[in-house]
Each structure stands twice: as C-alpha cells, then as structure tokens.
Chains A and B, each alone.
Chain A
Amino acid sequence: QVHLQESGPGLVKPSETLSLTCTVSGVSVNSAAYYWSWIRQPPGKGLEWIGHIFYDGRTKLNPSLESRVSFSVDTSINQFSLTLRSVTAADTAVYYCVRDEDGLAAFDYWGQGALVTVSS
C-alpha cells in the first residue's frame, strides 16, 4: 500500500522559508519508475505543480517558482523535501506531495496535504 505523508510547520512568517518533508511508505523513492512531485492549492482555488525530483536528485521546476524553490531526496529514509524561500501571503496553500508515475506521466498517489499559512 503506497502512502505519502507531508510534515512541517503550518505557519510561516512572511519573507521566511517554508520547509516540508514527505515520508513515503509502500514504495521506494530510490526507484527509476517514479518522480516525486510537489503540488499546491491555495484555499478555494486550483492546483499548481511546483516541480518534481528524481531519485538521483535531478529536478524539474515550474519556472513560476524556480527562483525560490529547491528540492532534496533522502533515499536512506525514503523521504523527499521542499524548500520555498521568501514566502508571501500568496504562498498560503495546501501543499501535496505526490507520486509521479514516469510511464503513465500521471499523479497517481497523493499525500493528504499540509496547509501552510503565511502570516505574521
């Protein structure tokens, strides 16, 4: 059973850094069959793909965020992480970690989501 779980602070101050970790179970992040994505959804709004990371650390980022975003992966503990710098209120959203199946190019398993609010 594939399971993804986001963790991290629910409140971040403006101009500071948002950090989230996704713990994966039921599948290894050290697999060439999958990418590991982050997707966010502001309250009441649509979905935005932030980017993905491969097991070897290669990343692809959404140009709209790439100047502020970085990803990392730790295959030894089956986790991957998101860092978003210089946040503003516009970064308030539910952040999902998602398995990105390479062959299907589909987001096939999602975490439950973590609400991060940017506020002083």
Chain B
Amino acid sequence: DILLTQSPSSLSASVGDRVTITCRTSQSVDKYLYWYQQKVGQAPKLLIYVASSLHSGVSSRFRGSGYGTDFTLTISNLQPEDFATYFCQQSFNSPRTFGQGTKVDLK
C-alpha cells in the first residue's frame, strides 16, 4: 500500500493567515493526489483533485500543487469556516489510501 504522511499533524492559525499543509507519498502517485476537508460531525468534502484542480464550488483560497511524491495544500486568507481537518488521498494505486489528517484550529 502507498503510505501518505501529512505534516504537520495539527496547526494553530488566525483568521487571515496563509496555511500550508504537506503530503508526502511513499512512492510516486504521478498527479493522482486529492485533498479533502472534514468538519466535526460531517463527511469529508473534496477540495482539490489531480493535485491542483479546484473542485466545483470550492473557494479559490484553496490551492494544490505538487507531483510525484511531494504535494502541498495552501489556504490563503484563512476564514472561520476553514477551521477543520484536511486529508490527502491517492488514487494512483489500489487500495486507495489517505493521509492521517491535519487539524487546523484557531490560535
């Protein structure tokens, strides 16, 4: 299985900050890396697909980048609704696997 390691596991930030989350994969996943946002008590929501494409309806404050084994999710101008847990996920190989999550909370 492809292992996905996110860093940091958690971070504290303020409204208006820019936040960066990293996802490293144990082998190349080409561009098949995805980012999801999960709020407490809710299902995850797709933010970014194939590393850098913004899913329909998602704010342009979210940006994904990377290729191969190293990927980044950047949230610009952090808003109150962005405090949540973020997961990366790969679809290059089966089984599909997820990172352990990064919790973004209010400083």
Contacts and interface: CB of A to CB of B under 8 A. Distances in A.
A60 B94 contact: yes
Nearest to A49: B96
Q: How large is the interface on B (under 10, 10 to 19, 20 to 34, 35 or more residues)?
A: 20 to 34
A106 interface: yes
Contacts of A62: 94-95
A104 interface: yes
Q: How large is the interface on A (under 10, 10 to 19, 20 to 34, 35 or more residues)?
A: 20 to 34
A50 to B, nearest CB: 9
B97 interface: yes
Contacts, number: 51
B55 A49 contact: no
Contacts of A110: 43-45
B35 to A, nearest CB: 10
A25 to B, nearest CB: 16
B46 A46 contact: no
B104 to A, nearest CB: 16
Nearest to A51: B95
Given A46-B87, A46-B101, A47-B87, A107 B95 contact: no
Interface of A: 37, 46-49, 51, 60, 62-64, 96, 104-108, 110-113
8 contacts: A46-B101, A47-B44, A47-B87, A49-B97, A51-B95, A64-B95, A106-B50, A106-B91
